[in-house]
Amino acid sequence: MTGPLTFRQWRGLVALSQDAVLEASRAVERIHLHTARRTFGVLERIPVVAVPAGVVSRVHDLTVTSVYGIIRLTTSAVGSSLLAGFDGVERMNATPRQPEQECPHEGGRREPREG
């Protein structure tokens, strides 16, 4: 592929990236919870640490679920923002430009601002 990407290609790249992060985060979350469940399951069978292990297990699961949920929420928000930005730029590019206006108090055309 040569040249700059089109907006359609950028949209596809954003959608592909979003899907990859969303699906990967779900898979890693499942593996994370499953692996921890095995460890906490063993600890919860030992009478001396069963109660604290159960509490820590629940806190762990809540934390893991929250973190991966925030990853997915952030990914969705960033993707939606990018797509909205692409839409805005496309609309700006599709709108005909206004002719340069006369500057009434200087008797001439406005010079573009620098900087």
Convert the pLDDT of each residue in 4-52 to its tens digit: 988 889 999 999 999 999 999 999 999 999 999 999 999 999 999 999 9
Those residues with Cβ within 8 angstroms of residue 29's Cβ, 6 or more apart along the chain or in another chain: 64, 65, 68
Residue 2 is predicted with a pLDDT of 77
In angstroms, the CA 40 to CA 55 distance is 10
Instruction: Domain ranges for the chain, please list them.
Output: 10-90
**pLDDT greater at residue 110 or residue 54:** 54
State if pTM tops 0.75.
Answer: no
In angstroms, the CA 82 to CA 1 distance is 22
Rg from Cα positions in the chain? 27
Q: Residues 60, 40: contact at Cβ < 8 Å? A: yes
**Nearest partner of 29 among 61, 51, 1, judged by Cα:** 61
Convert the pLDDT of each residue in 85-96 to its tens digit: 988 888 888 877
